Amino acid sequence: MTFPMIVIVDDEELVRAALAMVLERNGYQTASFSSAKQALASLNDLGRIDAIITDLVMPVMDGVLFIKRLREIGVQSPIITLTGGARVGQHNMSIQAKEAGAAVTLQKPVDKKQLLSALENVFNL
């Protein structure tokens, strides 16, 4: 039996570690990256990707541009975005992320039950 592979992209190490811990304790495999560029460079090495969780606000390449690049190269995996929600323009980024192909946006700090529910929902779309 293979477990779903979830790619986590967030520039905050503690966020990546917390998400990976929750997901792995609930039967998922994870691969974590500190930047969108790092994740894009590693996609071919990962093989199957069942879902991607990405922060929206990151240096160099934000989550919206990351989603656009993923779709341009043919990645069709469901995408969940994360946002702190308090910064100016983040609501607009959530809208842009949805338009680019994100399935759902969750607020940080991410609630464990919300995260697992969001994953179940995107897998059932």
SS3 at position 66: helix
8-62: per-residue pLDDT in tens? 999 999 999 999 999 999 999 999 999 999 999 999 899 899 999 999 999 999 9
Listed in sequence order, the residues at least 6 apart from 59 whose beta carbon sits closer than 8 Å to its beta carbon are 11, 35
Q: Is residue 90 scored above 70 in pLDDT? A: no
Q: How far is CA 60 from CA 26, 52, 84, 96, 101, in A?
A: 32, 19, 18, 17, 20
**What is the DSSP code (8-state) at residue 27?**
T
Q: Is residue 86 scored above 60 in pLDDT? A: no
How far is residue 24's CA from residue 20's CA, in Å, rounded to a whole number? 6
How far is residue 50's CA from residue 6's CA, in Å, rounded to a whole number? 6
Which token pair is 69? Answer: 């690049």
How far is residue 11's CA from residue 55's CA, in Å, rounded to a whole number? 8
Listed in sequence order, the residues at least 6 apart from 26 whose beta carbon sits closer than 8 Å to its beta carbon are 116
Q: Which domains does the chain have, with CATH numbers?
A: 5-123 (3.40.50.2300)
What pLDDT does 96 receive? Answer: 92
What is the radius of gyration, based on Cα positions, of the chain? 13
Sheet holding 79-83, edge to edge: 29-33, 5-9, 51-55, 79-83, 104-107
